């Protein structure tokens, strides 16, 4: 249970005298008076003038409250009308409905996995077919007196695939297996 202290009881008393401050903190009386006199001598403006001017742009004037005749800001009204009034309650399924939802969800995930596997098998089949065709070209001796593998080399040449007299994009930069000693040249300028 709360037990009031003497300090809390005295602080609640309505008084205009400095009785509470002197009674509660007697050691601060002299230091407070000297501190205020020193601070007043340092500042150039009087405390009353400084308080009246205020530190804001509008000269310390408080903004007046909206009168009854003024309409609210249309932007705020637009936001309020578009936002829901109350937060909807979280979805709580009954036991059968939750089981049904979970079953459908798992079936959908299973369907997606099967589709991914089917596409993967199809790509693997196409790759294997291309690999077998290239292997046949490599083993076949070329037209006329050409040696074995000529057709394979011509097929893999990709002449004109990157434009007229151009090089493959793989050769545009040197391919390295290890990173450079200096990964980024910070001192480079144009």
71 located within any domain: no
In a domain, 121, yes or no: yes
What are the distances in angstroms from CA 171 to CA 33, 45, 109, 166, 176?
84, 76, 42, 10, 11
Q: Is residue 15 part of a domain?
A: no
- Answer yes or no: is 28 within a domain: no
| Residue-level pLDDT, tens digit, the chain, 190 residues | 556 666 666 566 665 555 544 555 555 555 555 555 555 555 555 555 555 555 555 555 666 666 677 788 989 888 888 887 787 788 788 889 999 999 999 999 999 999 999 999 999 999 999 999 999 999 998 888 999 999 999 888 877 777 888 777 777 777 777 888 888 889 999 8
Structural domain including 113 reads 96-157
CA atoms within 13 A of residue 97's CA, in its CB half-sphere? 4
What is the residue whose two structure tokens read 């009785």? 19
Per the structure, the count of domains in the chain is 1
Q: What is the model's pTM? A: 0.37
d(CA 181, CA 101): 56
Q: Are the C-beta atoms of residues 41 and 48 closer than 8 Å to each other? A: no
């Amino acid at each position: 249970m709360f037990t009031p202290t003497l300090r809390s009881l005295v602080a609640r008393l309505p008084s205009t005298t400095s009785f509470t401050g002197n009674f509660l903190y007697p050691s601060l009386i002299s230091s407070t008076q000297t501190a205020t006199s020193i601070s007043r001598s340092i500042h150039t403006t009087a405390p009353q003038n400084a308080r009246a001017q205020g530190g804001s742009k509008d000269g310390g004037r408080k903004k007046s409250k909206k009168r009854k005749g003024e309409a609210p800001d249309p932007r705020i009204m637009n936001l309020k009308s578009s936002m829901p009034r109350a937060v909807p309650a979280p979805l709580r399924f009954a036991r059968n409905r939750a089981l049904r939802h979970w079953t459908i969800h798992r079936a959908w995930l299973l369907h997606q996995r099967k589709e991914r596997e089917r596409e993967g098998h199809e790509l693997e089949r196409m790759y294997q077919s291309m690999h077998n065709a290239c292997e046949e070209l490599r083993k076949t001796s070329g037209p006329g007196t050409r040696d074995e593998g000529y057709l394979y080399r011509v097929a893999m040449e990709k002449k004109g695939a990157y434009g007229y007299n151009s090089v493959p994009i793989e050769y545009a930069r040197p391919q390295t297996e290890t990173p450079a000693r200096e990964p980024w040249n910070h001192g480079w300028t144009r």
